[in-house]
């Protein structure tokens, strides 16, 4: 949360290291944690953190419609 507070939702994104991290916790538990951490964020902020920023920053052209 420190990074989001310092840099803002337009400059951050969530990620995982699956399947490697699967030895420590399950995938749904990870996403449940992400959702809990962002429960007070607006839908637009969550969309930026979970989709739009990744498409924009990693220049994944052709995938921008996926984030709507």
Q: Kindly list the domain boundaries of the chain, sorted by start residue.
A: 2-67
Residue 35 has pLDDT above 70, yes or no: yes
Can you list the pairs that 59-63 forms with residues at least 24 positions away whose Cβ atoms lie under 8 Å? none
Note the Cα 47 to chain centre separation in Å: 8
Kindly report the average pLDDT of the chain as a whole number: 88
16 or 38: which carries more pLDDT confidence?
Answer: 38
Residue 54 has pLDDT above 80, yes or no: yes
pTM: 0.79
């Amino acid at each position: 949360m420190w990074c989001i507070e310092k840099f803002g939702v337009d400059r951050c994104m969530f990620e995982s290291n699956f399947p490697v991290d699967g030895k420590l916790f399950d995938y749904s538990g990870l996403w449940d944690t992400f959702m809990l951490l962002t429960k007070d964020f607006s839908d637009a902020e969550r969309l930026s953190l979970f989709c739009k920023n990744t498409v924009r920053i990693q220049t994944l052209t052709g995938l921008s419609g996926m984030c709507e």
